[in-house]
Amino acid sequence: MTSTETGNSERDKYLVAKVLSGNTSAFATIITNTEYLVAQIVCKMICNAEDRKDLAQEIYLKVYKNLKGFRFQSRLSTWVAQIAYNACFDQLRKKQLVPGELTTDDEEEDSRGYAEETTFLIEQKELVSILNKGIQQLPPVYQTLITLYHKEEMSYAEITEITGLPEGTVKSYLFRARKTLKETLALNYQKEDI
């Protein structure tokens, strides 16, 4: 464990202890520390703005109710992200918007090469909107995985913990998401545009 991870762990333990003792400002700190990550997950998975607001409130209510069960086996932010992902996935399942046949039998590819490619594209300011439009056309689960891996720079292990998907499945979904994104961009834009 690195000194940063140790520091995060100690800060997490401190915040959780404060919340459990009734300190509401400590819970506000947890919300502040995780709201961007939660917003990324919710915005990628849920299209309706009203549903997003309701879901964000539901997520933090679940966090508050279940905080005493947090065992510090991961970072607090990872645990909160897991709750957010599961809440979104449940909502998609209720509305039958989860992709039907997501299987893991496709070839897996090392995604680090794509990370460099994506980083390069993101650095090109005029390409950001093209890339974001392409990502928005992906299924919600793929959008979320792309966001967690490339924008939030989370590891496969962290994404596995958040989503509950096996690591091989995460890699496979990321491979398929990138492949679909590449095909969408190639179909919609001239090579010189991208």
Per-residue pLDDT tens over the stretch 149-163: 888 888 999 999 999
Identify the CATH number of the domain in which residue 10 sits. Answer: 1.10.1740.10
Angle made by CA atoms 71, 172, 112, in degrees to the nearest 5: 85
Which of 110 and 135 is assigned the larger pLDDT? 135
Give dist(CA 24, CA 179) in Å, integer: 45
Q: With H, G, I as helix, E, B as strand and everything else as coil, classify residue 140.
A: helix
What CATH number is attached to the domain comprising 144?
1.10.10.10
* pLDDT of 178 higher than 70: yes
- C-alpha 174/C-alpha 145 separation (Å) is 7
* Average pLDDT estimate for 70-80: 90
Instruction: Tell whether 53 is covered by a domain.
Output: yes
Residue 168: pLDDT band by 50, 70, 90 thresholds?
very high
Q: Is residue 104 part of a domain?
A: no
Cα dihedral 70/71/74/75 (nearest 10): 50
Helix (H, G, I), strand (E, B) or coil at 192: coil
Structural domain boundaries, residue 161: 112-188
Give the pLDDT confidence score for residue 127 in this predicted structure: 54
Structural domain contains residue 148:
yes
Last residue of a domain, one of 94, 121, 144: 94
Q: Is 181 part of a structural domain of the chain?
A: yes
How many domains, in total, are found in the chain?
2
pLDDT at 107: 34
